[in-house]
Amino acid sequence: MSYDLVVIGTGPGGYVCAIRAAQLGLKTAVVEKRATHGGTCLNVGCIPSKALLHASEAFEEASKHFADLGVIVGEPKLDLRKMMAFKDEGVAGNTKGVEFLLKKNGVDSYRGTGRLAGAGRVEVIAEDGGNQLLETRNVVIATGSDVTRLPGVAIDEKVVVSSTGALELANVPKKLVVIGAGVIGLELGSVWRRLGSEVVVVEYLDRVLPGMDGEVGKQFQRILSKQGITFKLSSKVTGVDVGKKGATVTVEPAAGGEAEKIQADVVLVAIGRVPYTDGLGLETVGVQTDNKGRIQTDSHYATNVTGIYAIGDVIAGPMLAHKAEDEGVAVAEILAGQSGHVNYGVIPNVVYTFPEVASVGRTEEELKKDGIRYNAGKFPFTANGRAKVNHTTDGFVKILADADTDRVLGVHIVGADAGNLIAEVAVAMEFGASAEDVARTCHAHPTLTEAVKEAALAVGKRALHI
Ligand code: FAD
Ligand code: NAI
C-alpha cells in the first residue's frame, strides 16, 4: 500500500495527527502494536487514573463528608472489583471512540509493530510474525514513553508495580510505599489512601512536584499530609527486597547516612518516564536521538532523516497528552503545507488529586532566575464564597504578571477544580492578556472562577474580598 503519511503509534499524539492529516486530504495510515488505540493515555494512563481518582473521591466523600451536608448513607463499603470494572468501562469507551474516529476519517489501521525499513518504507510486524510493507511519503513517529526503571528493582506488577500495576491492584494494600513524589506518585498515592491504604511517599528531592511553583509544592504537600499521606523527602530508595508477603524497602537520606527499612505490601515505582523507541529500527535509517533517548527534531518536528518526523512523549518537552495532541495537529498541518505551530509557553499542567493543582506559564523561581521583574497577586479559596459554602477552601490562585507591561506570565492554582480554572488564563495568555484584562472580565457569581479574577485584582493590590 502507498500513503502520504504513516503514523507509528496511536496515543494522543499519533491518532490526533492521523485524523488531522486525513481531514487535510492526506492518504493516511496508522500502525499500532497494542490491541486497542489510544496509547498510554487512554489504556494505562490519563483515563484509567482519572476514573479511579473520581471513584475513590466519591468513596471518600461518602465516608467523610456526606454527613456534613445532611446526607446520611451509613458507612460506605468498597467493592473494588466493581470500581475496577467502572474504570475498565471508561477505558473501553474511550479506546473504541478512537477506533470509530479513525474509521470515520478514512484512516487505515494496521495492527503490529511498526519498523522503519529504509526511505519511505514502514514494515508492520504482526504478533504472529507475519509482516507487511507500507510505502509512504512521510512517517510520523509517535511511539510515546515507558516507565523509568529504578536500577536493581524489578517491577513484577504485583508487589513492585509501575503505574500500570497500580491501576489494577486486586486488593487494597495495607501499606503502600510510593517512590517519587511526582504526578503519578501523588495521584495514585491519593487513590489508594482514599481506599484505605497507609501511604508513604519517598522522594529524592527536598520537595514534591519538582518543576511546579515552589509555593504551590509546599502548600500542596501540607494538604496531602493533612489527608494522611506521609512524606520522606530528601531520601533515596537503595533497595527493594520482595519477600513472601510484600516487600522491604531500604531508604537512606539522599545526602548519605543511616538506612531505614520500611515494610510494604505494595511498592509503586513512579520516578518518571523515558521515551520509547524499542523495535522501531531508528538505527537502520540513522534517526538521531539525544542523551536522554529522545528523538531529536527541529521546530517543524522533522528528524535529521528526510520524510521522518516525531511528536509527543518520544521527543523533548513535557510528557503530557495535550502537548502530544497539539504537536500531532501541528505536524499534520505542516505536512499539508500549512503553518502548524505549538506555543510551548502556554501548556497547562494539572495534577488531578483533591484539591487539584494546575499551572500554566512561568513559575516564580523561573522568573527570578531569568531576572524578570513581576508582580504577584494571590487569592485564597478561604475568601471565595462558593468554596466556603462547598467546604473546599484549601488552596489559592496566584497570578504572576510582568512588572512593566502587566502581561500575565504564569498562573498557579491549588484548589478544587483547578484543572478547569486554569483554562481561562491559558486562553488569556494566548491572547497576550494583562492581569488587568482578567480582572476587568465579568466572572459569574458564585463560582470558583471569581478567585481567578480576585488574584488578577490582587496583582494591582486591589482585591475586593481580602
Ligand atoms: P503514547 O500515549 O505513549 O502512545 C504511544 C503508542 O505507540 C502506544 O500505544 C504504543 O503501543 C505505540 N507504539 C510504540 N512503539 C510502537 C511501534 N514500534 N509500532 C507500533 N506502535 C507502537 N497526561 C496528561 O496530559 N494528563 C493526564 O492526566 C495524564 N495522566 C497520566 C497517568 C499515567 C498513569 C501515565 C503513565 C501517564 C499520564 N499522562 C497524562 C501522560 C500521557 O499518558 C502521555 O503524555 C501521552 O500518552 C503521550 O502520548 P503519545 O501519543 O506521545 O504516546
Ligand atoms: P515525575 O517526573 O512527575 O516525578 C518523578 C519524581 O520522582 C520526581 O519528583 C523525582 O524527583 C523523583 N525521583 C526520581 N528518582 C528518584 C529516586 N531514585 N528516588 C526517589 N525519588 C525519585 O514522574 P512520574 O510521576 O513518574 O510521571 C511521569 C510523567 O507522566 C510525568 O512527568 C507527567 O508528564 C506524566 N503524567 C502526567 C499526569 C497529569 O498530567 N496529570 C499524571 C501522570 C503522569
pLDDT at 63: 94
- Residues 16, 120, single domain; the answer is yes
Query: Do both 424 and 386 map to the same domain?
Result: yes
The residues carrying an active-site annotation are 445
Q: Which of 223, 256, 271 delimits the end of a domain?
A: 271
Output the domain CATH number for residue 434: 3.30.390.30
365/440 same-domain check? yes
- In ligand 1, the atom with minimum distance to the C-alpha of 112 is 20
Q: What is the pLDDT of residue 64?
A: 93
As a whole number of angstroms, the distance between CA 368 and CA 366 comes to 5
Residue 159 pLDDT: 98
Quote the domain boundaries for residue 207.
160-271
The C-alpha atoms of residue 379 and residue 463 are separated, in whole angstroms, by 8
Ligand 2 within 6 A of CB of 84: no
Give residue 145's pLDDT. 98
The CATH number of the domain holding residue 176 is 3.50.50.60
pLDDT given at position 316 = 98
Distances (CA, A) of 369 to 175, 314, 362, 397, 423: 40, 28, 11, 22, 26
Q: For the segment 409-443, what is each residue's pLDDT rounded down to a tens digit?
A: 999 999 999 999 999 999 999 999 999 999 999 99
Looking at all shown ligands, the one closest to residue 205's CA atom is 2
Query: 280 and 141 share a domain?
Result: yes
| Whole-number Å distance between alpha carbons of 179 and 346 | 29
Range 323-349 average pLDDT? 98
Over residues 176-181, mean pLDDT: 98
pLDDT at residue 403 is higher than 90: yes
Inside any domain, residue 452: yes
Residue 239 sits in the same domain as residue 252: yes
pLDDT, mean of residues 394-407: 98
Task: For ligand 2, say whether the CB of 319 is within 6 Å of any of its atoms.
Answer: yes
Does 88 lie in the same domain as 53? Answer: yes
Site to substitute for ligand 2 among 204, 220, 221, 233, most atoms within 8 A of C-beta: 204
Is residue 184 lining ligand 2, measured as CB closer than 6 Å? Answer: yes
Separation of 41 CA from ligand 1 center, angstroms?
5
Question: What is the pLDDT, as a whole number, of residue 100?
Answer: 98
The answer to whether residue 152 sits within a structural domain is: no
Residues 454 and 321 in one domain: no
Which candidate, 401, 411, 407, 413, places its Cα nearest to that of 448?
413
Q: Do 119 and 26 share a structural domain?
A: yes
Contacts of 38 (CB under 8 A, 6+ apart): 10, 11, 12, 15, 47, 91, 94, 95, 98
The model's pLDDT over 35-92, given as tens digits with 9 standing for 90+, comes to 999 999 999 999 999 999 999 999 999 999 999 999 999 999 999 999 999 999 999 9
> What would the mean pLDDT of 175-189 be, rounded to a whole number?
98
Q: Residues 422, 426, 428, 433: what is their CA dihedral angle, to the nearest 10 degrees?
A: 110
Same domain, residue pair 46 and 142: yes
Give the pLDDT score at 94.
98
Q: What is the largest CA-CA distance in the chain?
A: 69
**Total tally of structural domains belonging to the chain:** 3
Confidence grade of residue 365 (pLDDT, cut at 50, 70, 90): very high
Q: Report the predicted TM-score, pTM, of the whole model to 2 decimal places.
A: 0.98
Q: Is the pLDDT of residue 29 over 90?
A: yes
Entry field: residues in the chain: 466
> How far, in Å, from the CA of 182 to the mean position of ligand 2?
4
Q: What pLDDT, on a 0 to 100 scale, did the predictor assign at position 400?
A: 98
- Ligand 2 neighbour 350 (Cβ under 6 A): yes
Q: Name which residue sits closest to atom 34 of ligand 1, judged by CA.
A: 45
Same domain, 130 and 180: no
- What CA–CA distances, in Å, run from 79 to 45, 62, 197, 244? 22, 14, 15, 26
Q: What is the DSSP letter of 148?
A: P
| Residue 340, domain member (yes or no) | no
**Residue range 302-315, pLDDT digits in tens:** 999 999 999 999 99
Residue after which a domain boundary falls, among 254, 271, 288: 271
Average pLDDT for 114-134: 95
Residue 272's pLDDT is 98
Amino acid at 57: E
Say what the pLDDT of residue 1 is.
81
Q: Are residues 355 and 454 in the same domain?
A: yes
**Could you report the per-residue pLDDT of 245-259, keeping only the tens digit for each?**
999 999 999 999 999
Give the ligand whose atoms come closest to the C-alpha of residue 204: 2
Instruction: State residue 119's pLDDT score.
Output: 85
> How many CA atoms within 13 Å lie on the side-chain side of 186?
25
One domain for residues 8 and 93: yes
> According to the model, what pLDDT value does residue 449 have?
98
pLDDT of residue 251: 97
Characterize 294-331 residue by residue with b for buried, 16 or more Cβ atoms within 10 angstroms of its Cβ, and e for exposed.
bbebeeebbbeeeebbbbbbbbebebbbbbbbbbbbbb
Neighbours of 271 (CB within 10 A): 22
